[in-house]
Amino acid sequence: METSDVTAGPRDRERLRTEIVVDHDDLARLLADRIVVTIARAVAERGRCVLGLATGSTPLGIYRELIRRHTAGEVDFTHVVAFNLDEYYPMPPDSPQSYRRYMHENLFAHVNIPPANVHIPDGSVPRDRLAGHCATYERAIRDAGGIDFQLLGVGKSGHIGFNEPGSSPESRTRLVTLDTITRKDAAADFFGEDNVPREAITVGVATILEAREIALIATGEHKAAIIQRAVEGDISAEVAATFLQRHPNATVYLDLAAAADLTRIATPWLLASVEWTPRLTDRAVVWLAEEAAKAILKLSARDYAEHHLSALLARYGAPGVINGDVFNRLRDKIRGRALLPKKQRVLVFAPHPDDDVISMGGILRKLHENGNAITVAYMTSGNIAVFDHDVRRHLDFVVRATGPLGLDPATMADVRVTVEESFARKRPGEVDVPVVQDLKRVIRESEAVAALEGVGLAASSARFLNLPFYRTGEVQKHPIGDEDVALVRALLEEVQPHLLFVAGDLSDPHGTHRLCKLAIERALAQTVLHPEVWYYRGAWQEWPITEADVLVPLSHEELRAKILAIFKHQSQKDTAPFPGGHDDREFWQRVEARNIETAARADRLGLAEYYAIEAYVVKGRKDGKTEGR
């Protein structure tokens, strides 16, 4: 996608002021700027600044940036009063999922805000006192002078705070029942949907709309659909975020992925004249073919005229010329085994121990058959995604095998007691004891090796980096640090790859893919290496044909072999702890459907018919020259 489309595109259909940031990391700096300015202005005018704060993964970068600026002496929180939006109910304040604990660990413990100025709904209040607690919370906001700056996230149900579908614009702080979509979204934090509370305390829509300034932030492909509805759709109680359209000073801040469905990004030619680059032409013609339900080479002048693409037609003079150019570019993206790299050094970075076969199990086999030297680096242990019952099963095997393996039965019995005692006292989401964390790590490592062998690679191809940022034992991770980057850099310099495969899907439930991508980018910047970088997707979505640079066809047998490799990850099969999104299918089922649908879509466009297709975006450098589009 061309950056100019984003920065200069018309906004005719946007009913909320919307800012799109090309570099995801710039969002944190941009929002921190707004908050610092607001604090300075409000304190100067009224002696205090009242902030409305949100939780979740999206604001973490903002809070880290605010902590950095406070440490540098750039912002003072002495006269800041903070009100958080919500809290699960019931929720002990010391629980790993408590928003009180989240705010303390991620902001309040690191800045000089007076404890008396911190307000968070109390999830431990007895039910018979809840109404009074909510009224007191509302009164405290009013007594503080109202909120100067309200930070918001948005859920896939369109909720702001926990104002779920059906919330009234007149609603105030209250107890609400959580929507099914919201509980599915929270399942990762609670290690299973069954552990997610069914209720929450939330500040109401009316209270939010009384803030003097509002900033809603969203990142990732999984937020694109609800953002389009909130920004371009009609105001509706079914999507609480649409109520922000009534606010005179509300702004939506997005990264490119979250903005993908907005008209100025998805179909800018419907709004104004555009610069018809080859990539934008491809997007427009494919869109037209799908709207008209025709193959590309069958599109007529009338099709272009009826779908507001007369300007594109005029530029080329005849539909046959446009159709042929686009068809040829798409056709040339298709690369069977004969057109894939041969005898190269290939380094695959997999954020979790199954991302490689889920996303690129087909091309892995083809690259191996082409004589490439392949190393697969599993960046994190993935141990938090292993159920306790899997540990019991593997431990039972070892105990039973003590005789054949020559192990000490007493030692194994002691380990088993330790593990079972830890399970008995552990609440959902609590950190496992070290021995359990190690056992879960080993389970995933053994599955990863078995899966590699399933696509033809030797066990020696696997490298387990176990990056430190992941070693919290919790869903929430540390920021990428120097040690993480150093481990990635060391492997890069050891392998000296010609081709580098990196996860390009950023919608994983707890942000690990994004953090791993950041570690790789930082490590690469510290080297003199210029590998060609191939970005893969698969676990949560696939690259669209127009965005992909390489389409790798798979036969029925090749797709089946890929699925069998995914099956080797038994701890993630049947029911995965972190499935992501609202797709109840197993990962192998999603992969099968996406790969088959990509091929079917190509077929509908008139390209060669294949059983399945994997898609990749390529952005590489060789000899200092950028390759790929």
How do beta strands 612-622 and 532-536 pair? antiparallel
In the chain, % helix, strand, coil (3-state, to 5) comes to: 50, 15, 35
| Residue carrying structure tokens 């997707």 | 537
Of all helices (H) and strands (E), which one includes residue 594? helix 587-604
Residue 622 carries which side chain, given as an amino acid letter? Answer: K
What 3-state class would DSSP assign to 350?
strand
How far CA 363 is from CA of 279, 373, 451, in Å, comes to: 25, 13, 14
3-state secondary structure of 580: coil
- Asked whether 502 and 349 are in contact (CB, 8 A), the reply is yes
Backbone angles phi, psi at 449, to 5 degrees: -65, -45
Residue 184, number of CB atoms within 10 A of its CB = 20
| Host H or E run for residue 62 | helix 60-71
Angle at 286 between CA 283 and CA 291, to 5 degrees: 120
Residue type at 529 in one-letter notation:
L
Q: Please check whether residue 280 is in contact with residue 291, taking contact to mean a CB–CB distance below 8 angstroms.
A: no
289 neighbors 603 (Cβ within 8 angstroms):
no
In the structure encoding, which two tokens stand for residue 211, read together? 């803030």
Name the catalytic one among 164, 213, 232, 558. 164
Distance from C-alpha of 2 to C-alpha of 546, rounded to nearest angstrom: 13
The sign of the dihedral angle between the CA atoms of 359, 360, 361, 362 is positive
Q: Quick one: three-class SS letters along 120-165?
A: CCCCCCCHHHHHHHHHHHHHHHHHCCCCCEEEECCCCCCCECCECC
CA–CA separation, 158 and 161 (whole Å): 10
Q: Report the alpha-carbon angle 295-301-303, nearest 5.
A: 55
Q: How many CB atoms lie within 10 A of CB 272?
A: 12
Q: Are 295 and 288 in contact (CB under 8 A)?
A: no
How far lies 499's CA from each of 206, 367, 372, 539, 621, in Å? 53, 11, 10, 21, 10
Burial profile 349-358: b = 16 or more Cβ within 10 angstroms, e = fewer: bbbbbbbbbb
Phi then psi dihedrals of residue 495, to 5 deg: -80, -35
* Residue 611, phi then psi, degrees to nearest 5: -75, -45
Strands 199-202 and 86-89: antiparallel
Indicate if 474 belongs to the active site.
no
Indicate the residue type of 247. Answer: H
Query: Residue 577 in contact with residue 192, Cβ under 8 Å?
Result: yes
Active site residues: 164
